[in-house]
Structure 1
Amino acid sequence: MSSFILILVFIAGYAAIAFEHSIKLNKAASALLTGVACWTLYTVEQSDFSKVNEQLLIHLGDISSILFFLFGAMTIVELIDGHNGFSILSQYIRTTKKSTLLVIISMITFILSALLDNLTTAIVMTSLCGRLLTDKEDRWWFGGMIIIAANAGGAWSPIGDVTTTMLWIGGQVTGYHLVIKLLIPSLVVLLLPLLVVFFKFKGQTIREHALPETSPMERRESTIILALGVATLLFVPFFKAITHLPPFMGMLLALGIMWVATSIIENRKKRKKPHPVVFALHKIDGQSILFFLGILLAVAALQSSGLLARLAIFLEDTFRNDYLIGSALGLISAIIDNVPLVAATQGMYSLQTFPVDHFFWHFIALTTGTGGSTIIIGSAAGVAVMGLEKISFMWYLKKISWLGLLGFLGGILAFVLMHLT
Structure 2
Amino acid sequence: MEAAIILVFVIGYLAITLEHNLKIDKLIPALVMMAISWALIALGLESFSQWFDSEAYSLVEGFVGLSSEGKMVLMEESLLHHLGKTSEILVFLLGAMTIVEIIDYFDGFSTIKDFVKTKKKTKILWIFSILAFFLSAIIDNLTATIVLISILQKIVKDRDVRIWYAGLIIIAANAGGAWSPIGDVTTTMLWIGKKVSTGYLIGYLFVPSFLSMAVPAFIASFLPVFKGNLEIEEEVKEKKKSKFSGTMLYLGLGAIVFVPIFKMVTHLPPYMGMMLSLGVVAVFAEIYSSSKFSMTDTDFEESDAHAHHSPVHSSLSKIELPSILFFLGILMAVAALESLGILFGFAESLKETLPMLGTELHHAGVSDLVMLLLGVGSAVIDNVPLVAASLGMFSEPIDNELWHFVAFSAGTGGSMLIIGSAAGVVAMGMEKIDFFWYLKKISWLAAIGFLVGSAAFMVTRTLF
Q: Which amino acid aligns with 1:187?
A: F
Residues 98-133 of structure 1, C-alpha deviations (whole Å, 9 max, x = no match): 5434332332343344436354245335425525xx
1:127 aligns with 2:162: no
| Letter aligned with residue 412 of structure 1 | S
C-alpha distance in 1 between matches for 2:183 and 2:286: 27
Q: Check the 8 A contact 1:158/1:168 in 2, yes or no.
A: yes
Q: Give the whole-Å Cα distance in 2 for the aligned partners of 1:162 and 1:19.
A: 27
* 2:311 corresponds to: 276
- Equivalence for 1:409: 451
1:45 maps to amino acid: L
Given that residues 169 and 246 in structure 1 are in contact (C-alpha distance below 8 angstroms), is that contact kept between their aligned partners in structure 2?
no
Contact (CA 8 Å) 2:92, 2:274: kept in 1 or not?
yes
Q: For the structure 1 residues 349 and 42, does the alpha-carbon distance in structure 2 shift closer, same or farther, using more than 3 Å as the test? A: farther
Q: Cα–Cα, structure 1 residues 371 and 65, in superposed 2: closer, same or farther, change >3 Å?
A: same
Residue 12 (structure 1) aligns with? 11
Quote the Cα distance in structure 2 between the aligned partners of 1:56 and 1:237.
27
Task: Tell me which amino acid in the other structure corresponds to 1:41.
Answer: L
Q: Is the 8 A contact 1:113 1:153 kept in 2?
A: yes
Q: 1:214 to 1:285 in 2, by over 3 A?
A: same
What is the total number of aligned residue pairs between the two structures? Answer: 411
Bigger share in helix: 1
The residue type paired with residue 368 of structure 2 is: Y
Contact 1:66 1:169 (8 Å CA) reproduced: no
Contact 2:17/2:436 (CA < 8 Å) preserved in 1? no
Specify every segment of 5 or more residues in structure 1 that has no aligned partner in the other structure, as ranges: none
Q: Which protein has the larger Cα radius of gyration, Structure 1 or Structure 2?
A: 2
2:45 aligned partner? 45
Indicate conservation of the 8 Å contact 2:221/2:227, yes or no: no
- Where in structure 2 are the equivalents of 1:15-414 lying within 5 Å? 15-43=14-42, 44-46=44-46, 47=68, 48=70, 49-95=72-118, 97-114=120-137, 115=139, 117-121=143-147, 123-124=149-150, 126-131=152-157, 142=165, 144-157=167-180, 181-198=204-221, 206=229, 209=232, 213=237, 218=242, 220-269=243-292, 272-319=307-354, 320=357, 321-334=366-379, 336=380, 338=382, 341-347=383-389, 349-350=391-392, 353=395, 359-374=401-416, 384=427, 388=431, 393=436, 397=440, 400-414=442-456
Cα distance in structure 1, aligned partners of 2:421 and 2:77: 33
Deviations 1:203-226 (A, max 9, x none): 9753895775389972x5121111
* In structure 1, C-alpha distance between the alignment counterparts of 2:159 and 2:96, rounded to whole Å: 33
Amino acid across the alignment from 2:37: C
Listed as ranges, the gaps of 5+ residues in structure 2 are 47-67, 295-306, 358-365
Paired letter, 1:130? V
After TM superposition, the structure 1 stretch with the greater mean CA deviation from structure 2, 45-54 or 148-157, is: 148-157
Rounded to whole Å, the distance in 2 between the matches of 1:324 and 1:254 is 42
Q: Distance between the aligned counterparts of 2:438 and 2:347, measured in 1?
A: 36
Q: Which amino acid aligns with 2:105?
A: G
Q: What is the TM-score with the length of structure 1 in the denominator? A: 0.80
The AA in structure 2 aligned to 1:190 is: M
Q: 2:50: which partner in 1? A: none
Over 3 Å counting, the alpha-carbon distance change for 1:30 and 1:186 in structure 2 is: same
Q: d(CA) in 1 for partners of 2:266 and 2:101? A: 27
Alignment partners' CA distance in 1, 2:250 and 2:203: 24
Note the alpha carbon deviations across 1:153-176, whole angstroms, 9 max, x for none: 344456655655676788876777
The TM-score, its normalising length taken from structure 2, stands at 0.74
